[in-house]
Chains A and B, each alone.
Chain A
């Protein structure tokens, strides 16, 4: 197969330049004297004579004669096999496998008591592909098909609880599941989250507000089927690219289909999914195992990591962050959440559940900062963006914990009022509902404070025609929100602004379909990315209205009076933020507000808002720098001064945060004009207090962790029948045995078969 030699030449010769043969073992080391030691010569004549000549040397060295040469050859062979095996993407591998590159796995998450998510075996799960486009196709997989296990390629619309229950029951016949993205999104909604999000970690429990606990009044997330909180024993992957899905379906049609229900002929098209998770059982178990590993092992194998990241916060008036505020300093808190999730790992578009809310708050922060008397308001305003609220309030519980223990500059007693933005993008007929907590309002003072808060909001909303603020008629619990964690610690007066009065209007809450289309952020066709960036959508205008109301309300709550009507949120800011977070992160505005070394964090698609375990995530950085850009000031410092302002007398590192950002492109579009931005936008650690206190089984704080893994990938290929493989093995054995026999016979009869020509006086030539 010289052609294949030359083909492998192409790759091998490049790898083997400078590669030296391993030294052929002992023969090189043996000196000439011992070369003569051999087993007795095959000729019967002269054996005894030669043995007597060699005498003791023969008996001493006779044993290990054969070893060095064969050992070296074996070593050579195994080295070659190893090297050949390490050749990635060689031509034979490309003939066999088609890797699937645009997939998202489902990974294992653990909390104090349970594990959720999916698991594959460590060598990957292989199964014959079966495309399920309607429910009847499932029968082949579950009972009919003759070649289990199967990997099911499921249409996105069929990814429902009933189908998953059926698949879960017959896990012997299912090797894995690949879900294709449904285009358009399923009309009746799809939410793998539970119907009562963050139950048990809010303010309502069986001992406090039991009529509101566990969503007894009504379910917030009506469409929720709780799939994301189930534990599956087979891997589940999302196929994000339609081209790859078509390739798989084509392979299926070519090889796996058979007429009228008979068994299809081999070779069959199969898929292999690798997503082996290291952590099991619960956070308590995996953290204990990690702790043992890191205490006693030289190279510890940590099995899980807590979900953690950073909260982003800023203040309207700067304060000294090295200390804490006086009790007389009052702060109005404006809060929202930054994160979302979906069934699959690191896919969390979160348009309605997170992005719209924090974009609104960013615009409100910008608007409020522009007020002329912002620096002299009696009360301060703190804008905070909590990370990890999806997973039992990681960010807000940590902030409350830090506030209680004096580790955060603002304390709980400094909080004057609390305004939170819930989901605000899907308003029906301009209505924005104000949710308050009925349990804390049983206290007279709190009731009055909340009344003041609500009326301030209504006054601020009066001047904005695109937003109609509404109170709730009956006493209803608070929706899942960060305010609940603050209420657990102290009776603050707070309100949650949301577009829904009872259940969510979001049909795709915490799912892969909560994208820009869900909140009607669409752009006309044929525009360039720059034009899209600056195109003001209707959603942007609506959210700008909400931001204006919020900014004016915060202004009033902070004690301002004169410039209320001049505060206006800018729809251009809102639309640029929405474009960057939901459509394409790599745009000119985002590039200009980031640090130079974070340039590569912006991809060509939308940003994902999953909290992850390595921090800070791309989205957190972008939010921090956007907040810095919108509320901060460009100051005239050099790069070295900006990175270390302690040398500059007029600047104070405790009051402000200084960042050196890329800046916009210059006129020729060749270079950037970097500048120093001074702002109060900072990051605060958002790691659940359960991990600080090492209470891994805590029911008080969030205990979510994510398992670690080594290898996550998927590929398709053809598999041959077991009979063919067995026949190959038998043929191989046969040839080996046959050649051994023939060689033995020829060798034994070599003297007869190969006659040495007898020339006088010479034994060999």
Chain B
């Protein structure tokens, strides 16, 4: 669909992730490293889930239509489970690493676990978004648009918005998940897993893109609100921020230290 659609969809899907990256990650190299490691963990989880899917597919043998579909659903669910498992594994790794970081760099304040939660979530989100969308994006460069076989022509836009939602969801899930692990609130992990399963399952009802997208955005807003409160935000701080009364607040905050 030509360069205009390519850039438009690329900015829609990766714009917020790029903005987050530019303003929060790029400034400190340690955060970049943790971002990359998070992305790598997501990739390894994808590798494992694809290995499981592949062996299952080979074991099943002949593939007819309903079996293909069940195999796909199975693959998606396994992939979600393994992604969350790897998120937990990354949390454990970071816990261990924070000790080591303190010895390497005694003068520097090591990044807090909340920050690492955010960075890992963003790493997962960026990698997940890139993997799910780059394939489609490269096809949007050609002169044609989806539709000759009857698919809806807004395929690229839907894909771009869905990628955006998944990326942001991974960020929020990361924050909530790590907080749950820290405070040993295991139900939090369950909620994250279930909402991830729900969003993935929604994408399987592919013809009804609109419903799919709206539900995913609702879930994203809810998770976003939860993550905001978990990471230390509150209605009061939001009000203070929006009404630009933050300067007094800051001074107050520092004095208390």
Contact = CB atoms under 8 A, between A and B. Distances in A.
Contacts of B250: 751-752
B66 to A, nearest CB: 16
Contacts of A50: 107
Q: Which residue, B29, B139, B157, has most C-beta atoms of chain A within 10 A?
A: B29
A6 B233 contact: no
A747 to B, nearest CB: 5
A719 B27 contact: no
Sort chain B's interface into a size bin: 35 or more
A69 B30 CA distance: 9
Interface in B89-129: 98, 104-105, 107-114, 126, 128
Contacts of A21: 40, 43
B56 interface: no
Contact of A2 (B24, B113, B203): B203
Given A5-B131, A76-B130, A732-B11, 10 more contacts: A14-B54, A92-B155, A96-B142, A731-B12, A735-B11, A739-B15, A740-B19, A752-B249, A754-B114, A763-B109
Contacts of A41: 109
Interface in A79-122: 80-81, 84-85, 87, 90, 92-93, 95-98
A45 B241 CA distance: 21
Contacts of A739: 15-16, 18-20
A1 B108 contact: no
Contacts of B25: 69
B145 A720 contact: yes
Interface string A699-738: 0000000000000000111111000011011111101100
Return the 5 tightest CB-CB contacts between A and B, nearest first: A69-B32, A717-B144, A732-B11, A732-B8, A13-B50
B46 interface: yes
Interface in B60-104: 72, 75-76, 79-80, 98, 104
Contacts of A719: 1, 143-145
Contact of A1 (B50, B75, B159, B233): B159
Nearest to B142: A96
Given A96-B139, A736-B15, A69 B26 contact: yes
Interface string A434-477: 00000000000000000000000000000000000000000000
B131 A80 contact: yes
A755 B237 contact: yes
B134 interface: yes
Interface string A744-765: 1001010111111110000111
Given A1-B133, A725-B4, A743-B23, A718 B148 contact: yes
B191 interface: no
Contacts of A736: 11-12, 15, 18-19
Contacts of A72: 36
Interface residues of A, number: 89
Contact of A53 (B107, B130, B199): B107
Contacts of A758: 256-257
Given A32-B104, A270-B144, A755-B232, A749 B159 contact: no
A643 B104 CA distance: 77
A98 B147 CA distance: 11
Contacts of B9: 728, 732
14 contacts: A4-B133, A27-B33, A30-B29, A32-B104, A37-B29, A50-B107, A66-B27, A73-B35, A84-B138, A729-B5, A735-B12, A736-B18, A740-B15, A756-B232
A60 interface: no
A638 B60 CA distance: 51
B208 to A, nearest CB: 12
Contact of A3 (B26, B30, B76, B151): B76
A755 B250 CA distance: 10
B104 A35 contact: yes
Contacts, number: 283
A90 B138 CA distance: 11
A725 B6 CA distance: 9
A272 B143 contact: yes
A163 interface: no
A38 B79 CA distance: 37
Contacts of A76: 39, 130
A9 B46 contact: yes
Contacts of A38: 27-30
Interface-centre pick from B22, B126, B138 (highest chain A CB count, 10 A): B138
Nearest to B36: A24
B146 A92 contact: yes
A30 B33 CA distance: 11
Contact of B26 (A8, A66, A85): A66
Interface in B206-257: 206, 228, 231-234, 237-238, 240-241, 246, 249-250, 253-254, 256-257
B162 interface: yes
A725 B79 contact: no
A674 to B, nearest CB: 40
B150 to A, nearest CB: 9
B138 A85 contact: yes
B190 interface: no
Interface in A17-43: 21, 24, 27, 30, 32, 35-39, 41
A70 interface: yes
Nearest to A748: B23
Interface in A383-440: none
Nearest to B155: A95
Contact of A764 (B40, B79, B113): B113
B14 to A, nearest CB: 9
B27 A39 contact: yes
Nearest to B25: A69
A2 B166 contact: yes
Contacts of B50: 9, 12-13
Which interface residue of A16, A39, A84 has the most chain B CB atoms within 10 A? A84
Best-surrounded residue of B7, B36, B79 (most CB of chain A within 10 A): B36
B144 to A, nearest CB: 3
A281 interface: no
A77 B143 contact: no
B132 interface: yes
A234 to B, nearest CB: 16
A36 B107 contact: yes
A718 B19 contact: no
Contact of A12 (B128, B135, B200, B237): B135
A68 B237 CA distance: 36
Contacts of A7: 72
Given A21-B43, A267-B153, A735 B15 contact: yes
